[in-house]
Amino acid sequence: VTATAHRLRIGEVAELTGLTARTIRYYEEIGLLPASADREQGKHRLYSEDEVERIKEIVRLKELLGLTLEQLSQLLDAESARAELRREWHATEDPGEQRRILTEALRHLGTQLDLVRQRRAEIVRLEAELDERREFLHERLAKLES
């Protein structure tokens, strides 16, 4: 709904997402990212800012959760399912249907949250161990200075 629908080229998208142009093409090649709509063979790929945000999101999930592209694909499929549910939600007035849709969406989110929480717990534990060692060394240093 913005006035300027500026479209970005692959190099700019790479810059903004932290990927390389090659990686973006590769993700398109394996079907992880949708192909730039109605692009003629050999012509430049163009991306909207929404698409860039989407790619950032995908990269974040991959890196933070340490997923393979296969696992990432599955997770994105689950997300599309949620998006589909949103559309269904707007299409129905039946409270029973609406409950089913919400419940389903919550289930998808739950799966994702479980992954993230597990990661966080692991990293917090590692951080605590390192903090403890640092505390120990600091005390030793303090004793030495006194």
Partner DNA sequence: TTGCTCCTCACGTCACGTGAGGTGGC
Please give the residue ranges that form the binding site for a second copy (CB under 8 A).
Answer: 60-61, 63-64, 66, 95, 98-99, 102-103, 105-106, 109-110, 112-113, 116-117, 119-120, 122-124, 126-127, 130-131, 133-134, 137-138, 140-141, 144-145
Contacts 24+ apart (CB under 8 A), 82-87: 82/108, 82/109
Q: How far apart are CA 57 and CA 17, in angstroms?
A: 9
The reply to whether 10 sits near DNA by the rule CB under 7 A is: yes
Q: Which token pair is 62?
A: 């991959």
The reply to whether 61 sits near DNA by the rule CB under 7 A is: no
Of 41, 51, 40, 43, the C-alpha closest to 7 is 51
Place of tokens 């700019």: 12
Cβ distance to a second copy smaller for residue 35 or 124: 124
The one-letter amino acid code at 94 reads D
In contact, 51 and 14? CB cutoff 8 Å: no
Cβ distance to a second copy smaller for residue 22 or 119: 119
Smallest distance, Å, CB 3 to a second copy? 28
Smallest distance, Å, CB 41 to a second copy? 35
The full length of the chain comes to: 146
Smallest distance, Å, CB 104 to a second copy? 10
What residue 6 binds from a second copy, DNA, none (CB within 5 to 8 A, per partner kind)? Answer: none
Helix 95-145, helix 49-65: angle, nearest 10: 60
Cβ distance to a second copy smaller for residue 35 or 141: 141
Residues interacting with DNA, by CB under 7 A? 9-12, 14, 20-23, 25-27, 30, 41-45, 62, 68-70
